Amino acid sequence: ARGSMAAGWGRPPAAAAITLLLSLGASAPGLLRGAPAARSAASLRPAALRAGEVHRLVTYIFVYEDLISLTCGAIIIWYFAGSFEKNVGTVKHCFLTIAFAVLSALLYLLLETVVSRVSEVEDAKGFMPVAFATLGVSTTRSRMKKALVFGVRIPVVLVPWFMLCIAWFIPHSSLLSNLCGLLIGEAYGLGYCFCLDFPESVGSKLDRVFPFSLLKRVPGLKYIPGSLAERRAFESS
């Protein structure tokens, strides 16, 4: 029993895997056709939002402009989304992914009107703003004082800002949207977005309803329960 539980924990977290599949599905057709217009159909463009395309407040996190960006996005989803899901559970991960995506998008749209007057602003696209939000949550709530990044020990609070500078060099990465994601994540981590939290009991109840009850049954994926006690049982096994 212990071996099977440990093997189960080694499977990819369900929501992170679904996010990766959605990113591939949204980006691959445009990449294969080499059609920029098709690839930008779901990116976060202010003009499209003003035209009423509110779905872009969420869909932009699944869109990538080229193969390098998609590859970087896949690694980021696998690492950041997967780690975050293991910490909070699949239900809360899904909820916070959408919440972080929308809040980051709204802050981006607010700041874009100001920043665009002095500099060209890249359209927001890809999972990176949400990844920075999860990184902001993790570092603000971490008990560690310093972390090892590329062989250098730096204060934990500076890790997201260090990573933000590195992300600047990823093709088609929007510095403004990444900054917005980080600010939203740190605000949530510091307790300013307490309205986004819900009790574990609610998460446990949602584990048993659609679509999460269906997600539990997907073979090859690991559903992370909403209960901290259950998550600890898997980790200890």
Residue 36's pLDDT is: 55
Q: How long, in residues, is the chain?
A: 237
Q: How far apart, in whole angstroms, are the C-alpha atoms of residue 136 and residue 190? A: 9
Backbone angles phi, psi at 58, to 5 degrees: -120, -45
- Which residue type sits at 143? R
Domains of the chain as residue ranges with CATH: 14-224 (1.20.1540.10)
User: CA 163 to CA 38: how far, in whole Å?
Assistant: 30
Encode pLDDT of 171-214 as tens digits: 778 889 999 999 999 999 998 887 888 888 888 899 998 889 89
Q: What is the pLDDT of residues 16-35, one digit of tens each?
A: 999 999 998 888 877 777 65
